[in-house]
Amino acid sequence: MHKRISRLATAGIAAAAVGVMLAGCTPASSNTTEDGKSKVVFWQQKFEDYQQDWFKAQVAEFNKSQDEVEVELLVVPADTWDQKLKAAQAAGKAPDVKTTSYGNVKPMQASGQIADLSELMDADAFDDIAENIAPFVTVDDEVYAYPLLVEPSTVLFYRTDLLAAAGIDAPPTTWDELVDDARTLTTGDVYGMNIGQTAPDLGWSSWGLQYNVAGDFPLRGDWSEASADDPAYEDLAKFYQTLYAEKLMPQEATYPYADCSFFGEGKVAMSACGSWALGQLSANPDWAGVWENTAVAAFPSSDGDPTAPTSTLGGWTLTVDAKSKVQDESAEFVQWLLADDTDRLVDFFTATGFSKYPARVSVTEALAATPEAADNPFLATITEDIVPYAKAEPSYPWDVSLAFATSLEKAMRGGDIPAAMSEAQAAIEDVIKKQKLAGTGSD
């Protein structure tokens, strides 16, 4: 789940959100167009520019390809997405098809918001979904979302030139090494490391590290008991605290975690960021000097085990609304876009600059065979060293992640670590009780 919230980019929120909450925002719509076609409203969350271009081109092509269904695309900024969607649902005007992150599929399924696609699409469309992705979208053998892509949320980006100048010949493989390297690399103008530092960012960017240090998330099993008091998480809090307290990382969250601008601007020598930052870094001509010296590695694990997870596998799917009056037509569009033509998706993944990865086996194979993939220096590292060991995002309510992250942030900014962790424990226990989570966990 990308919470691509930037302080500056939030500029639009206030006005938009208030308007949305008051008015429910979406114009009145019927399910047929003026010329009698079925109308499918499709909301796409705004991502990097090339994604909007790709979706627009595909929708235009789909609309031209037949005369039964007309898809209407609306690009919605990430910052206003949640409120706008909820307001539309309240007004009974939810989009027929929408982008949905893996983390939201199960909560939405549980509250009956999304339709079972296995009833609506051809059965063989689901056979092609990669084995490690299928569980993200499946509940009791029913598939509630069709996956588009996966992307590891935590990758280590580093500057080969700065590491070489500091006499460091390889990226760190343990947290201790990372902290030591960050100390060496921190000079007057450049911080050694950059990592998420605000609770909303820590909430999701630290999932992989939570898993790494404790072997699981702070809410485990069937979600009956909180585990934030697992002493292992104190090591995680200590790791963040050291980086922050020793000023080895920027002291101000000028950019949110999902935005790799600190690295692009040359203000940090190493940075944790999602794989999507490859697309961001390569696309900015001002950062060409940094981009030439950029390399990626799996984020170090706490003890140096390269097979231990340090990243979650986030990503995006398309879902069909449970109340949509044009479910068949919506599913037809989803199938056409994501499940049929492999070339359509190969084009997409090539456009991403190999910063995102297919969720379908046949697309992965087709992509690997392209000359662009063979030339890409990052693809192998990410697909071989990171993706196979990454974990699924937790599907419990965001409140749990935010409660843990708030404590992590307190610890990071110098708070007492055991006290912060017991605060998280109490907060998560409260969420379990009030949101009746006990026994609803899936593993």
By the 8 A CB rule, do 213 and 291 touch? no
- Least separation in angstroms between CB 240 and another protein: 13
Q: How far is the CB of 301 from another protein (least distance, A)?
A: 27
Question: Least distance (Å) from another protein to the CB of residue 90?
Answer: 6
CB of 288 to another protein, least distance (A): 22
Q: How far is the CB of 397 from another protein (least distance, A)?
A: 6
Closer to another protein by Cβ: residue 69 or 115: 115
User: CB-wise, 344 or 413, nearer to another protein?
Assistant: 413
Which two structure tokens, joined as six digits, stand for 363?
A: 């697309």
Comparing CB distances to another protein, the nearer of 17 and 149 is: 17
Could you give phi then psi for residue 363, rounded to 5 degrees?
-70, -40
Distance of alpha carbon 92 from alpha carbon 412, whole angstroms? 43
Q: Is 75 helix (H, G, I), strand (E, B) or coil?
A: strand
Cβ closer to another protein: 279 or 314? 314
Nearer to another protein, 140 or 252 (CB): 252
CA quadruple 383, 388, 391, 392: dihedral, nearest 10: 70
Strands (E) in 381-431, as ranges, are 391-392
Find all residues with CB under 8 Å of 239, minimum gap 6, and list them. 175, 179, 209, 302
Q: Which positions ≥6 away from 78 have C-beta within 8 Å?
A: 2, 3, 4, 5, 45, 46, 47
Strand partners, 293: none
β-bridge pairing 69-76 and 142-143: unpaired
CA gap 72, 320 in Å, rounded: 14
- CB nearer another protein, residue 174 or residue 254: 254
| CB of 83 or CB of 132, closer to another protein | 83
Query: Site residues (CB under 8 A) for another protein?
Result: 5, 7-8, 10-15, 17, 21, 82-83, 85-86, 89-90, 92, 94, 104, 107-108, 111-113, 197-200, 251-254, 322-323, 397-399, 406, 409-410, 413, 415, 430, 434-435
DSSP 8-state code for residue 386: I
Token pair in block for residue 407: 């404590």
Residue 323's nearest CA partner among 22, 23, 31, 28 is: 31
Report the alpha-carbon distance of residue 348 to residue 342 in Å, rounded: 10
Please state the closest distance from residue 208 (CB atom) to another protein, in A: 22
Q: Say if residues 92 and 28 touch (Cβ distance below 8 Å).
A: no
- Distance of closest approach, residue 286 Cβ to another protein, in angstroms: 17
Q: How far is the CB of 203 from another protein (least distance, A)?
A: 11
Complex with another protein: residue 12 or 135, whichever CB lies closer: 12
Residues 178, 246 contacting (CB under 8 angstroms): no
